[in-house]
Amino acid sequence: MFSKSSLGLLSATPSNWFMNSIAFWTFVLLGCMCIGGYFMFRKFLKVLPKADGKSKLDWQNYWVERSRPLWSDEMKAFLDQLVQPVPSPFRDIAKHSIAAEIGKIAVESHAPEVTREHCIRGYIVATPRRDNRFLISFLEKNGIDYSPYQHLIK
């Protein structure tokens, strides 16, 4: 009734390529979940309240709102220029944290408005230490003088 060649199609064990593809996609999905979990955990740590009762995100929102009237359109455009090297999916988050640092510096110095110097200083302070090499190359490429703030770059 069945020939010997058709018995291979009716076997109870799946083929080798099918099992390998299942194993491959298992590792891909586990890797994606681990990467996503890492970033979610980092976000969770930012939301935890510190000793003063406010989280890092609360302070960022506070400084952005407090300094909102000090921003001119020219300085907003300069901030947009500063965050250009950040990949687009992360650009809004980076812009918010950099704007918070710039706002904090401007408010604490009792400045009537945010200046270019505030932006450069806040950009340097808000940039993680691991990105300082990219920070320096970006500032030099755009002709931005960062020599007064060289001590802030570690």
Q: Residue 44 sits in which domain range?
A: 15-48
What gap in Å lies between CA 66 and CA 97, rounded to an integer? Answer: 14
- Identify whether 113 is part of a domain: yes
- Identify whether 111 is part of a domain: yes
- Identify whether 41 is part of a domain: yes
Residue 21 has what pLDDT? Answer: 93
> Within this chain, do residues 100 and 44 fall inside the same structural domain, yes or no?
no
Helix and strand numbers (H, E) in the chain are 6, 0
What gap in Å lies between CA 65 and CA 69, rounded to an integer? Answer: 8
Q: With CA atoms as reference, report the closest residue to 123 among 137, 110, 139, 108.
A: 139
Residue 134 has what pLDDT? Answer: 86
- Identify whether 7 is part of a domain: no
What gap in Å lies between CA 72 and CA 56, rounded to an integer? Answer: 25
> Within this chain, do residues 102 and 148 fall inside the same structural domain, yes or no?
yes
For the stretch 107-126, pLDDT in tens is 999 999 999 999 999 999 99
Residue 14 has what pLDDT? Answer: 76
| pTM more than 0.85 | no
> Within this chain, do residues 84 and 66 fall inside the same structural domain, yes or no?
yes
Show the low-confidence residues of the chain (pLDDT under 70): 1-11
| Domain tally, the chain | 2
> Within this chain, do residues 90 and 133 fall inside the same structural domain, yes or no?
yes
